[in-house]
Each structure stands twice: as structure tokens, then as C-alpha cells.
């Protein structure tokens, strides 16, 4: 049910916001329900948002 609400909200966000939301949703849910794509993230995100992902990759944790 929350997946549908998040997908609906993503319709109003920038591509970068969508990618970051997919990343954090995957961490939170422990699943890739929103089709997070690392290559898309690497080629689309600015350096600050890429660093969020790269820092997590170097020291991963799950909520």
C-alpha cells in the first residue's frame, strides 16, 4: 500500500529525487521494489547525491 503512495508522489519529483527515493526505499524495505538502477544513478545524480550512495556502498547498513 505504501508503495503505491510513493510511486504516485514520484510523479511530481525531479529525476534525481526519484533516484534517491528509490535508493532509500530499497534500503528501508530491503528490496528493490522501485527498480533502483545504479548505472542510472551514477550517470544522472550530482556529486553530492552520488556521494550518499558511494558512502553507503563503502560502509553499508540497513535500518
pTM (global) more than 0.95:
no
pLDDT tier at 8, thresholds 50, 70, 90: confident
**C-alpha dihedral (36, 53, 18, 34), degrees to nearest 10:** 20
pLDDT digits (tens, 9 = 90+) for 9-58: 888 899 999 999 999 999 999 999 999 999 999 999 999 999 999 999 99
What's the chain's length in residues? 63
CB neighbours of residue 16 within 10 Å: 15
CB 16 within 8 A of CB 24: no
Q: Is 12 left (phi over 0), alpha (psi -120 to 50) or beta?
A: alpha
Amino acid at each position: 500500500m505504501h508503495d503505491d503512495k510513493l510511486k504516485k508522489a514520484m510523479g511530481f519529483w525531479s529525476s534525481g529525487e526519484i533516484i534517491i527515493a528509490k535508493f532509500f526505499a530499497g534500503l528501508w524495505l530491503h528490496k528493490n521494489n522501485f527498480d533502483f538502477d545504479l548505472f542510472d544513478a551514477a550517470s544522472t545524480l550530482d556529486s553530492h547525491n552520488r556521494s550518499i550512495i558511494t558512502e553507503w556502498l563503502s560502509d553499508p547498513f540497513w535500518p
